[in-house]
Structure 1
Amino acid sequence: MIELILLRHGESVWNAEDRYQGQQGTGLSARGRDQAKAAAEYLQSFVFDAIVASDLQRVQETLEPYVGNQDVQVDRRWREIDVGTWSGRTFAEVYAEEPEVVTAFARGEDVARGGGETFRQLRTRVAEAIRELTTTTSSGARRVLVGTHGGPIRAAAAGVLGLPAGREMVLEAPGNCSLTVLRSDRLVGYNVPTGVER
């Protein structure tokens, strides 16, 4: 049995500014660094057989207080969904210019925001990453910590729950530094706080 514990990154500067990030974005805000430290303390009670992470700065900075000398396997499939031209723009700016796309997305239509990825595309790459982790026997990994983003966490949870692509948005947005737990194709914990309130 493989248990995957998905850790969302701490608050980034762009999170604090209500900007879309996607695969761009900034490092952590001061609050995000506090969240990362609290998450590191929370995770001390766990024993992980492997640690996997997105390569994006906000995830790498989130893991720093916890990782120490442990090996981290970087896997770009755990990156946030690509939101194309929306990256760096505020929610208000995008809504003012593309209200019909924002509205369609909010009601569960699987649209490519800013010309980037759809949730179906995101779910495909996340499912591939999960499948690889759960079928790899050479490492003998049983519990894996995955440092990632809100989009992949929603995609992973929606996949396990059997929701159609686009319906990820019915799930509550994972809080910064929250944990989501998948075990043998079951969702056993979602958006579990680890310390500093979002």
Structure 2
Amino acid sequence: MFFSKLLPREGNFFELFNEHGAQITEGARAFMLMIQNYNDPVLRERYAEEVNKAEHQADRVTAEVNRMLHRTFITPIDREQIHGLINAMDDILDLLQDTTETLSLYDVRTIPEEVLSLGELSARCCERVQHAVSLLPKLKNPEVGEAAIKTCEEIDRLESDADRVMRTAMSRLFREQEDVRELIKLKTIYEQLESISDRCEDVANLIEGIVLENA
């Protein structure tokens, strides 16, 4: 018992979650600016680099959380929840970076309206993820717990909207696109963008579990 009192306790996990959430929002913002300014090569490259920078910063936060888990004896929430949440958050930025790189590697010349729509929904999901994560330190307050659940429900609705947009986009793509190469390119990009909202929903589901167990 005396030994356990000497071991590290708590740690700044919530601060690191917030830092990672800020990078998610920054990466999503840069991605949206990139596709909105896609016809300008200079701006496209600038915002693509900002997406990469946000992803690298988030990777450092993820690594620090995982290191801290090994050093901390008593954590503010369950260790499995911490590990699952930070890695699910990291998946979001990985997908933003992957989609950014795919646009370049596939030499996509123009951005269809569906990409803009899916990008916007993804960015809104990312913003709500950051908000939900920011509420975690105050879950003992019932009103904060309710606000977190509400934000997670918003993410679920946005993910459903993204599903509908992607189904419509795929239908149009297979009906109207005669160039097989362009079809393959856009199909991959649509799927990656829709996966971003899926990963945001994964984070929302994890946060809902944390709220229910710790509120």
Shorter-normalised TM-score: what interval?
Answer: 0.3 to 0.5
Tell me which protein shows more helix as a share of its residues.
2
Greater Rg, structure 1 or structure 2?
A: 2
Tell me which protein shows more strand as a share of its residues.
1
TM-score, normalised relative to structure 1: 0.38
Higher RCO structure (Cα 8 Å, ≥6 apart): 1
TM-score, normalised relative to structure 2: 0.36
